[in-house]
Structure 1
């Protein structure tokens, strides 16, 4: 499985209701997208204490075929037309732990941890379990950047975290239920 995310940084005075309306009107278009486990429509808002306004959807793909279809068969063109050329960050999933209530998630905390140079990678913690108050946890690693990224899904707004997003919508893939435990 692969994860992907692109982050569109928006001007400080950008009306974030535009993104909210866009998600309300179009978010369901990625529901059950082939090869998708789920897509979380994420935003940050300056007025809520974030460094900037942003739109930063996060995808977990069951296979590269679905991801390739999304990127190269015209679906990603909507992003290019609306926001211009965007870099897509790709990571390899090492943990996907989703509760049966995963779709109730309203916030996502994204936390980075560097993987320092070492003689053996056997002690690098590439697994994680969600805690009682967490609706989901996804851990990815990026060997091109040597970092681990943990995505924690919550129903209630967290008091802290490296980066906190509001989730506007989660598009489930057709096999999402088989990943919920």
Structure 2
């Protein structure tokens, strides 16, 4: 499996309704996409829980073939034409706990961190799994890491808006 995300920072005065309309009109097009486990259409809107407007779709691919098809067979061209060339962040899933009601998730919180040099990584997976979330009412979670940069991201999914002071993403649609 492969995690993939691009984060498009939008101007402070950007009308986020344009992104919401884009997802309403096109989000269904990735439902059932070849080799896609899921895609979350994520946004942040400037306000008390976010310092910026952002569109940041998160994908988990079952295999690289699906990701390659998306990137190189014209589907990603819609992003290039609408928002310009974007850095695509890649992560390897370390663990994933998706509940039966994952598709009902409406919010997501991301925690990022460094994987620090150590004489062994054998305890890292258990350490990160036992880590306390910002708000433990999450219904699903995913941890991806990038050994090229020795970074990790924890994604916590919620049905109801969590009580967090961290930046919060709204999930507009989930394709599976």
Q: Which of residues 149, 163, 170 in structure 2 aligns to 1:166?
A: 170
The unaligned stretches of length 5 or more in structure 2 are: none
Displacement, 1:22?
0.2
Q: Which moved more, 1:147-156 or 1:79-88?
A: 147-156
Displacement, 1:48?
4.7
Which residue of the partner structure matches residue 154 of structure 1?
158
* SS of residue in 2 equivalent to 1:92: strand
The separation in 2 between residues aligned to 1:102 and 1:135, in whole angstroms, is 7
Q: Conserved in 2, the CA contact under 8 Å of 1:110 and 1:161? A: no
Which residue of the partner structure matches residue 19 of structure 1?
19
Which residue of the partner structure matches residue 43 of structure 1?
43
Which residue of the partner structure matches residue 115 of structure 1?
115
The separation in 1 between residues aligned to 2:167 and 2:12, in whole angstroms, is 17
Q: Could you list the runs of 4 or more consecutive aligned residues of structure 1 that deviate by over 4 angstroms after TM superposition?
A: 129-132
Q: Conserved in 1, the CA contact under 8 Å of 2:43 and 2:54? A: yes
Structure 2 CA distance for partners of 1:169 and 1:115, relative to 1, 3 Å? same
The unaligned stretches of length 5 or more in structure 1 are: 173-181
Which residue of the partner structure matches residue 177 of structure 1?
none
Q: Does 1:139 align with 2:149?
A: no
The separation in 2 between residues aligned to 1:72 and 1:128, in whole angstroms, is 34
The separation in 1 between residues aligned to 2:10 and 2:21, in whole angstroms, is 16
Structure 2 CA distance for partners of 1:7 and 1:80, relative to 1, 3 Å? same
Displacement, 1:164?
1.5
Which residue of the partner structure matches residue 128 of structure 1?
129
Q: Conserved in 1, the CA contact under 8 Å of 2:106 and 2:172? A: yes
**What TM-score does the superposition give when structure 2 sets the normalisation length?**
0.92
Q: Conserved in 1, the CA contact under 8 Å of 2:4 and 2:58? A: yes
Which residue of the partner structure matches residue 104 of structure 1?
104
Q: Conserved in 2, the CA contact under 8 Å of 1:16 and 1:53? A: yes
**What TM-score does the superposition give when structure 1 sets the normalisation length?**
0.90
Q: CA RMSD in A?
A: 1.7
The separation in 2 between residues aligned to 1:147 and 1:121, in whole angstroms, is 13
Displacement, 1:118?
1.2
